[in-house]
């Protein structure tokens, strides 16, 4: 039997092996077509017609950005994004800018003038009527010799992202780099109450920067890492609130993305030497958490 003919059955088996705790009322996004047990990090264009995500295969040895378009209300067969899957480098965490005209992602591809750099840097790529432009490195103020990842873009161009904080025991923190005169500036640590002694990562910033969703390894959560939301007021970021089940669970939830009244996220369950990870979604109103705060 040819390998190609085995793939549908393999995908079905991968989905069926997810423990019961991951099968709940937060449905899997496009099971089999997109969510095959080895994907994470969905982003959708503002019009909802274009999707990007990361194919992991349940590990981190090969990380490739995938894309698919919607035609007549149906998602078409996925393909490797033309700017990914080359050179042996890893590409992760694509996110559409709020205007849909560009995508920010992170990559281990060679950095101009920095042949020694091996970690993830933040890149951007324009998307126009003729398709994708060339990837552009966002400079060596926002990027350093440390890995930067999980970037999210506000309407004013500010980029929120994760990197380690050497002053906090090398745990990951959330940072922001402001766009000034066309260039990204040195990152600012978001500080408390967002950043703690735990791991904070995977920010989703609202286009107007009014709220922030991210994951934390706070042990008071339901699982490995859970999603939290914080609102920005005149005095800065407010006390983060734990997002309710069935979005959070005893599994790990990460890579949040808000689109058209739904929160899209990845749920991961460790299974032996690999991870079962699929994209889920659930109706979401951020103002509910602001009213409760």
Q: Rounded CA gap, 239 and 234, in Å?
A: 13
Residue 3 lies in a domain: no
Structure tokens at 246: 């069935």
Q: Determine the Cα–Cα distance for residues 254 and 201; give it in Å rounded to an integer.
A: 8
* Contacts of 135-142 spanning 24+ positions with Cβ under 8 A: 135/83, 135/107, 135/109, 137/111, 137/112, 138/104, 138/184, 139/183, 139/184, 140/111, 140/114, 141/177, 141/183, 141/184, 141/185, 141/186, 141/187, 142/177, 142/184, 142/185, 142/186, 142/187
For the chain, how big is the Rg over CA atoms in Å? 18
Residue 63 lies in a domain: yes
Q: How far apart are the first and last CA of the chain?
A: 58
- Print pLDDT tens along the chain (293 aa): 333 334 444 444 444 444 434 445 799 999 999 999 999 999 999 999 999 999 999 999 999 999 999 999 999 999 999 999 999 999 999 999 999 999 999 999 999 999 999 999 999 999 999 999 999 999 999 999 999 999 999 999 999 999 987 765 658 999 999 999 999 999 999 999 999 999 999 999 999 999 999 999 999 999 899 999 999 999 999 999 999 999 999 999 999 999 999 999 999 999 988 999 999 999 999 999 997 65
Q: Kindly write down the DSSP assignment for every residue of 51-66, as one continuous string.
A: EEEEE-TTSSS--EEE
Dihedral class, residue 139 (left if φ above 0, else alpha if ψ from -120 to 50, else beta): left
Residue 10 falls inside a structural domain: no
How many structural domains is the chain composed of? 1
Residue 87 lies in a domain: yes
CATH (domain of 142): 2.120.10.30
pLDDT digits (tens, 9 = 90+) for 39-89: 999 999 999 999 999 999 999 999 999 999 999 999 999 999 999 999 999
Burial pattern 153-166, b for ≥16 Cβ within 10 A else e, equals bbeeebbbbbbbbe
- Identify whether 256 is part of a domain: yes
Task: Tell me the C-alpha distance between 102 and 81, whole Å.
Answer: 14
Q: Is 4 part of a structural domain of the chain?
A: no
Does residue 197 belong to any structural domain of this protein? Answer: yes
Q: Which two tokens stand for residue 203?
A: 């920010």
Q: Which pTM value belongs to this model? A: 0.91
Strand extents, DSSP E, 154-288: 159-165, 171-177, 179-180, 183-184, 188-189, 200-205, 211-216, 226-233, 236-237, 241-242, 252-259, 262-271, 274-283
String of DSSP letters for 136-181: EE--TTT--SS--EEEEE-TTS-EEEEEEEGGGTTEEEEEEE-EET
Residue numbers of the domain that contains 84: 28-292
CB neighbours of 32 closer than 8 A, spacing ≥ 6? 8, 11, 12, 15
Beta-sheet pairing, 136-137 with 149-153: unpaired
What are the CA-CA distances from residue 278 to residues 56, 78, 83, 150, 220 (Å)? 10, 15, 23, 17, 24
- How far is it, in rounded angstroms, from Cα 222 to Cα 227? 10
- Residue at 14 is within a domain: no
């Amino acid at each position: 039997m040819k390998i190609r003919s085995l793939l549908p059955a393999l995908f079905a088996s991968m989905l069926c092996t997810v423990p019961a705790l991951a099968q709940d009322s937060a449905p899997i996004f496009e099971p089999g077509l997109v969510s095959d047990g080895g994907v994470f990090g969905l982003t959708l264009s503002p019009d909802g017609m274009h999707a990007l995500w990361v194919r992991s295969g349940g590990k981190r040895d090969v990380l490739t950005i995938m894309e698919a378009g919607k035609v007549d209300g149906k998602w078409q067969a996925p393909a490797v994004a033309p700017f990914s899957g080359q050179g042996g480098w890893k590409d992760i965490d694509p996110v559409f800018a709020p205007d849909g005209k560009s995508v920010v992602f992170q990559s281990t591809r060679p950095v101009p003038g920095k042949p020694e750099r091996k970690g993830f840097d933040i890149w951007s790529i324009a998307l126009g009527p003729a398709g994708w432009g060339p990837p552009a490195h966002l400079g060596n103020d926002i990027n350093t010799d440390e890995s930067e990842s999980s970037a999210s873009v506000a309407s004013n161009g500010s980029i929120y992202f994760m990197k380690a904080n050497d002053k906090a025991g090398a745990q990951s923190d959330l940072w922001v780099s402001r766009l000034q005169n066309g260039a990204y500036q040195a990152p600012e640590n978001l500080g408390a109450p967002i950043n703690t002694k735990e791991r904070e990562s995977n920010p989703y910033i609202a286009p107007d920067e009014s709220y922030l969703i991210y994951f934390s390894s706070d042990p008071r959560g339901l699982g490995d890492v859970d999603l939290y939301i914080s609102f920005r007021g005149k005095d800065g970021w407010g006390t983060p609130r734990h997002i309710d089940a069935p979005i959070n669970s005893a599994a790990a939830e990460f890579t949040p993305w808000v689109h058209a009244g739904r929160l899209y996220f990845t749920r991961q369950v460790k299974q032996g030497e690999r991870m079962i990870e699929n994209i889920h979604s659930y109706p979401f109103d951020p103002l509910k958490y602001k009213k409760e705060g």
